[in-house]
Amino acid sequence: MNQYLVDFNFPFLKLGLLFLLYAETHYSFKGIYSRLKKKEPEIIADVPHRIKQGQPIPVLLLIKDADQHSIELNSVHINLFSKEKKECFPFEFNALKITEKFWHKTVEIQSTDNLSGKYRIDVTIKFSINGKKREVKNDNYTCSSHAPLEIYISESGLPKTNGWHFGEFHCHTSYTDDQVEFGAPLNASRQLAEAMGLTFFCATDHSYDLDDDPDNYLKNDPSLKKWHSFQDDVRRLNQSNSSFIIIPGEEVSVGNSKNRNVHFLVLNHPELLPGDGDSAEKWLRTKPNLSIKEILRRINSNSLAFAAHPGVQPPFLEWLLVRRGKWNLQDCSNSGLHGLQIWNGTDEGLNEGKSLWIKRLLQGKRIFISGGNDAHGNFNRFRQVGLPFFTLRENYEHLFGKVRTGVFLEDKLSLPTLLKAFENGRMLITNGPFVELLVKNNRNESAKSGDCISGKNFKIDLNCLSSPEFGKLSELRIYTGNLITRKEQLFKSVLNFSELFKHHEELNMRKNSTPSYLRVELFSENKNEVLKCFTNPIWLNWTLG
């Protein structure tokens, strides 16, 4: 590394770390001016991106770092706009003194009309700081658009049949709090997730954030206070509400076969698994702590391990400066790996992740896919610190609950039933349509995604659903994977559907003798967007006679 890089790459290191987050703007590097830094706490309003008609809309107010810059909150005015009219919802706070590091409150608004479709929401926050009156709209970032928040009010719930639950498989909460990012508190995340129609999320904060000193994210805490309070918070919240489950997890930084840092989602593990190779907390120390193999050896039978965003190529600077790498086929071939979180909020890396998965399926491995968004808060809009501390990027990607993992539960929703269903692959991933794959054999026994079934012949049942929110059904693809020739092929494609948002497909499979698997993809079209649903496979074992 030449002198120029050594001199300059600490800030550039951070430049490489463009995470997905509510942007933290108070951190700046010695000698580097931050245009975003100001003498005010960060103030953010957020709402779910979708909600079912007739429900109140929760509006999350977040105020961060008021311990350094205290304020008096005077009022919050929320405007809900439709084409025809504007409804205003005022909330008085009467000069409420806010001095906490992390203050948040959710207020609810509900229209007098039965709304449906897309709506805009503006949140005006009036406060005083050092005796001066200030007013901000939607957030107080220096370089953001302050554009209205957007919500889709849906006449119908998420498309599904009985027994299916939807959730977010990869997200960060306020336990992620470092130089450039922070997430929303667990209880606020739960409230907004519930309003979206979800019934679970996996809280997968970074290993290198969970081991921090609660008061200083640049220092580690050997007594792991933050980790313990995270576990306690999740437990307490799960005890207080049986209709929504938070799965305690961790996004562990581990070494892949090339000794580069990759991310591993470990769910329900009773101890913190260390991993700070790519934390950028220790200058020039980027070596992974544990390897993928070591993690798989350490976790117990109640824990699950999924490769996080395996197909996503790390940006060049992250590759260079914090030794970030990518899951390759060898990494995905470790025994004990339960699955691959191949969808990470955008299409980036989705095809690569899917192709790694199919390669493993064709090698005869029973391995499953899940999908999430890697959201850090960001229920409505993604706000990110860009070219360090000079810009703030905004877009509508990596939104909490946009890509969902659907899970089939035979029993009541609970932490153990969810974990069991993940382990058994009773899952699908979708950002819109829904397809239930069922197979029956000649003895009338039935199988769902993730199951294996034996028989002389099989009947396949497919229930396809969409809704005006996710657009009309456009294509159904049924794939079979031959485990002898190790080839996957398109068995059938359906382009004509009985109804716009509903279709039932039935087909018979006979006279095959090779062990194989069956999986399904369903697409819908909404304006110019193609939305998709991928099921996990059912394995077919042909018996003779």
Beta-ladder partners of 89: 78
Nearer to Zn ion, 310 or 471 (CB): 310
Shortest distance (Å) from residue 323 CB to Zn ion: 14
Of positions 263, 360, 402, 426, contacts Zn ion by CB under 5 A: 263
Of positions 40, 181, 276, 374, contacts Zn ion by CB under 5 A: 374
Nearer to Zn ion, 125 or 252 (CB): 252
Shortest distance (Å) from residue 99 CB to Zn ion: 30
Q: How far apart are CA 387 and CA 485, in angstroms?
A: 49
- Single out the segment in contact with Zn ion by CB under 5 A; choices: 60-68, 127-135, 373-381, 482-490: 373-381
- Single out the segment in contact with Zn ion by CB under 5 A; choices: 77-85, 235-243, 261-269, 286-294: 261-269
Shortest distance (Å) from residue 176 CB to Zn ion: 8
Shortest distance (Å) from residue 206 CB to Zn ion: 7
Secondary element (H or E) of residue 238? helix 225-240
Of positions 40, 177, 209, 251, contacts Zn ion by CB under 5 A: 251
- Single out the segment in contact with Zn ion by CB under 5 A; choices: 251-259, 426-434, 467-475, 496-504: 251-259
348 contacts: CB under 8 Å, gap ≥ 6: 312
Structure tokens at 48: 């779910």
Beta-ladder partners of 167: 200, 405
Q: Which residues of 427-459 are buried (b: 16+ CB within 10 A; e: fewer)?
A: bbbbbbbbbbbbbbbeeeeebbbbbebbbeebb
Torsion angles phi and psi, residue 113, rounded to 5: -95, 165
CB count, 10 Å around CB of 539? 21
214-243 residues in contact with Zn ion (CB under 5 A) are none
Shortest distance (Å) from residue 225 CB to Zn ion: 22
Q: Cα dihedral angle (341, 372, 64, 192), rounded to 10 degrees?
A: -150
Measured from each CB, the residue nearest to Zn ion is 263
Beta-ladder partners of 359: none
Q: How far is CA 261 from CA 171, 277, 303, 322, in A?
A: 19, 6, 21, 8
Shortest distance (Å) from residue 263 CB to Zn ion: 4
Nearer to Zn ion, 103 or 327 (CB): 327
Q: Are 326 and 353 in contact (CB under 8 A)?
A: no
301-320 residues in contact with Zn ion (CB under 5 A) are 308
Residues, the chain? 545
Structure tokens at 334: 């470790």
Nearer to Zn ion, 263 or 354 (CB): 263
Nearer to Zn ion, 260 or 263 (CB): 263
- Single out the segment in contact with Zn ion by CB under 5 A; choices: 77-85, 300-308, 442-450, 466-474: 300-308
Nearer to Zn ion, 171 or 462 (CB): 171
Shortest distance (Å) from residue 146 CB to Zn ion: 27
Size of the site for Zn ion (CB under 5 A): 4
- Single out the segment in contact with Zn ion by CB under 5 A; choices: 150-158, 246-254, 335-343, 385-393: 246-254
Nearer to Zn ion, 212 or 374 (CB): 374
Q: What burial class does residue 20 get, using C-beta atoms within 10 Å of its C-beta: 0-12 exposed, 13-18 middle, 19+ buried? A: buried
**Site residues (CB under 5 A) for Zn ion?**
251, 263, 308, 374
